[in-house]
């Protein structure tokens, strides 16, 4: 039996079950599973290495996120794109999250170049043969930015990775200062992240339910956690017809696939491994013009101490060996900090210029572990924001948390 007839039978059998999703014919109906996987998937996701810095996401007691978020309707998502016969899903997921972060930071929605990543990013990525979003975020940071789609159009849709054009790649438009990995297998943390911005995720998509998805909330046990496809979570909500909570996901297979290029996946079941490998860029901003030639100037001030000299530093430049990176639900930014307890007080060494007091003020509800924080406001509301920010030094600012205090975090 030909692939089309096999897929037609799968569609009919699935839709007859009156599930919360439907399958349908699309441009992939003529592919077998193996053909589909070979053309569109990336095995590199299976080899993602953990970052050196351990991360903990603190859930604030009583903190309520919005019931639904949709970054598409908010204007932070570019139109659906098409990767073609190239395994470049990782590049499309990367540009999507950077585009969203840039729009949220500046109000400007700029379509960025996947081809810049496919052809020029060799930071562990391999063009049409696959890559990782974290690698691509790091490449954008270290290479000075990424070009716009208009300046460096996508040409790898045939499945052939071309040669990097240094002239096109030089037209940098947007850069980032880093990225944050969402704690693995924590859909509450993923929800908190998506409430702030679109988030890159890896999923297992080499099954017929994904290949032939048409509409509704995908809730299936046929896909597992063998991650092979990069996509973008652009929102969440609850389906009015089925009552199922869902993730809204932007794919890169064109607007004729799924719900105009999007799909909804059931939330709370780690559907297709959606919470296994999620991350988002930090510090998105426009690339400024090249600085003019330097002129004679006074002796510069003393440089900022390198990472590893004090506790409570910026994770983007490194944490001490006894610290982890902390993010807090509903609070922007992050910071390095050690554990603490009754017999383990918080270290008193703080970064230069910081007058906020270290206190054992945070607790991870899942593990019970307690952590230090720099308290910049002993009570809320923060009456004088500038004075509170000044307590955090030059690179951090004072944020309100549900426990009734203000603490210092770094906004990358």
CATH says 3-282 is which class?
Answer: alpha beta
- 345 DSSP 8-state letter: P
Q: Which residue has the higher pLDDT, 354 or 331?
A: 354
Of the candidates 82, 88, 77, 96, the residue with the CA atom closest to the CA atom of residue 27: 82
- How far apart are alpha carbons 136 and 163 in whole angstroms? 17
251 is catalytic: yes
From the list 229, 340, 346, 392, the catalytic residue is: 229
pLDDT digits (tens, 9 = 90+) for 377-397: 887 787 888 999 999 998 899
pLDDT digits (tens, 9 = 90+) for 15-60: 999 999 999 999 999 988 788 887 777 655 544 544 555 667 777 6
From the list 7, 135, 251, 395, the catalytic residue is: 251
Confidence of residue 307 (pLDDT cuts 50, 70, 90): very low
Of the candidates 397, 394, 360, the residue with the CA atom closest to the CA atom of residue 377: 397
Supply the pLDDT for residue 32: 85
Other C-beta atoms lying within 10 Å of the C-beta of residue 60:
16
pLDDT digits (tens, 9 = 90+) for 87-98: 999 999 999 999
- How far apart are alpha carbons 62 and 135 in whole angstroms? 35
Find out whether 206 and 251 touch, Cβ atoms under 8 Å: no
Q: Where are the domains of the chain?
A: 3-282, 315-409
From the list 7, 86, 89, 128, the catalytic residue is: 89
pTM for the predicted model, two decimal places = 0.78
Q: How far apart are the first and last CA of the chain?
A: 55
- How far apart are alpha carbons 61 and 74 in whole angstroms? 28
């Amino acid at each position: 039996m030909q692939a089309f007839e096999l897929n037609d039978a799968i569609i009919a059998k699935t839709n007859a079950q009156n599930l919360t999703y439907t399958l349908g014919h699309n441009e992939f109906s003529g592919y077998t599973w193996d053909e589909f996987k070979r053309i569109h998937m990336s095995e590199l996701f299976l080899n993602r290495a953990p970052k050196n810095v351990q991360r903990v996401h603190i859930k604030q007691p009583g903190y309520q996120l919005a019931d639904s978020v949709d970054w598409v309707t908010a204007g932070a998502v570019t139109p659906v794109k098409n990767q073609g016969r190239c395994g470049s899903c990782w590049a499309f997921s990367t540009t999507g999250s950077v585009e969203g972060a840039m729009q949220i930071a500046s109000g400007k929605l700029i379509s960025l170049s996947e081809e810049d990543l496919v052809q020029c990013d060799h930071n562990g990525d391999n063009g049409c043969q696959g890559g990782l979003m974290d690698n691509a975020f790091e490449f954008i940071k270290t290479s000075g930015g990424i070009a716009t789609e208009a300046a460096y159009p996508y040409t790898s849709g045939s499945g052939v990775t071309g040669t990097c054009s240094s002239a096109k790649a030089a037209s940098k438009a947007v850069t980032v200062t880093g990225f944050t990995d969402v704690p693995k297998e924590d859909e509450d943390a993923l929800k908190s992240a998506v409430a702030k911005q679109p988030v890159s995720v890896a999923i297992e998509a080499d099954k017929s339910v994904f290949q032939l998805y048409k509409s509704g909330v995908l809730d299936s046990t046929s896909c597992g956690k063998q991650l092979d496809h990069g996509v973008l979570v652009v929102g969440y909500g609850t389906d009015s017809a089925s009552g199922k909570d869902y993730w809204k996901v932007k794919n890169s297979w064109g607007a004729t696939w799924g719900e105009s290029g999007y799909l909804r996946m059931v939330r709370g079941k780690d559907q297709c491994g959606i919470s296994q490998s999620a991350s988002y860029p930090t510090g998105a901003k426009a690339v400024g013009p090249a600085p003019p030639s330097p002129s004679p100037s006074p002796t510069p001030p003393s440089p900022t101490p390198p990472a590893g000299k004090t506790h409570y530093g910026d994770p983007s430049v490194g944490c001490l060996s006894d610290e982890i990176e902390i993010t807090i639900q509903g609070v922007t930014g992050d910071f390095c900090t050690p554990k603490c307890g009754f017999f383990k007080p918080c270290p008193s060494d703080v970064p230069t210029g910081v007058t906020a007091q270290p206190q054992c003020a945070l607790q991870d509800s899942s593990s019970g572990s307690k952590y230090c924080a720099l308290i910049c406001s002993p009570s809320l509301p923060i009456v004088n924001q500038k004075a509170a920010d000044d307590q955090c030094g030059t690179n951090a600012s004072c944020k309100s948390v549900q426990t009734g205090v203000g603490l210092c975090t770094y906004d990358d």
